[in-house]
Structure 1
Amino acid sequence: MILIDPPHTEGYGRLWSHLASDSDYEELHLFAERLAIPARGFDRDHYDIPAEWYDAVVAAGAEPVSSRELVARLREAGLRRRRGAT
């Protein structure tokens, strides 16, 4: 399933959400490609999504979840990649 958390992360003068899959990276990349989300937005295990795109991404089928739930589901699926991990 494709997941998105609320836009709470600050950076570059705006707020960001995180888009992830609790199934596999292929599902995530295909969803992002379908919405023309730039590949440069992929960061280890998620895409960074600007707050102004949040509603459109949810309308396209992403499930809104809390940031805590998003990370927990990535961990449960074995898909969480921490910074510096190989």
Structure 2
Amino acid sequence: MTVFADIPRWPRHGMVWGHLISDASLAELHETAARAGLPPRSFDLDHYDWPEPARADLEAVGVRVVDAGELTRILLRSGLRIRLRDRPAARARRSDEHAAQLGLVTVPRDLIWGTIGHVDPLPLPSQAAPGAFRMTRDDPSVPPRVEAHDASGHRAAATLLEELDELSRRASGRAFTGQVLVDRG
């Protein structure tokens, strides 16, 4: 079993990013990413996104750097790959599962209960319904980060957070940590 990274080439957030994958298991991938200091939120269904400055940390924990074509071939052979066209359905399944675990009746477009993984970005204002928001809370002692295009999005986030906190306390004894995207009116 080995964990592989490709050479960063995707610009975003003022940095250049690469992908980190396992040839055998997501457990191995999560463990290696943690040892390299990657944030759990950088996991995206079958890979971690990693910024170019993290390369030395990845190599220090035994990650092999390969070109993008080889990385894709390794991921395909592993059986862990989630194709681009299948990603929306995979996110919907994850949201359904997490909502069911919480006891949440209305399933948001994208929901993660916990700290591993991230939801889709908030759509642009021209593509989002009024009241759309994206909310992240990794530490209940800190206010959540809410992205919204309007005041109704901020209100909707606060209302949903109250419900998520109550459900999470019932299910786990702790306030909600996770991420949610609501983009339907």
Scaled by the length of structure 1, the TM-score of the pair is 0.91
Alignment partner, residue 81 of structure 2: 80
**Count of paired positions:** 86
Matched, 1:63 2:67: no
Moved over 2 A (4+): 82-86
Paired with 1:21 and 1:85, the residues of 2 have a C-alpha distance of 22
- Aligned residue for 1:84, secondary structure, equals helix
Structure 1 segment 1-86 matched on structure 2, within 5 A: 1-82=2-83, 83-86=87-90
Scaled by the length of structure 2, the TM-score of the pair is 0.44
Higher relative contact order (CA 8 A, sep 6+): 1
Letter of the 1:77 counterpart: S
1:76 is displaced (CA, Å) by 0.9
* Stretches of structure 1 lacking an aligned partner (at least 5 in a row): none
1:34 is displaced (CA, Å) by 1.7
8 A Cα contact 2:37 2:57, kept in partner: no
- Give the root-mean-square deviation of aligned CA atoms: 1.2
Quick check: which one's strand share is greater? 1
Post-superposition CA distance 1:13-33 (Å, at most 9, x none): 110111110111000001112
Paired with 1:69 and 1:85, the residues of 2 have a C-alpha distance of 26
* 1:43/1:62 CA distance change after superposition, 3 Å: same
Letter of the 2:69 counterpart: R
* Stretches of structure 2 lacking an aligned partner (at least 5 in a row): 91-185
1:55 is displaced (CA, Å) by 2.1
- Aligned residue for 1:44, secondary structure, equals coil
Larger radius of gyration: 2
- Aligned residue for 1:40, secondary structure, equals helix
Post-superposition CA distance 1:36-64 (Å, at most 9, x none): 31110001111111101112211220011
Indicate the percent of aligned positions where both proteins have the same amino acid. Answer: 40
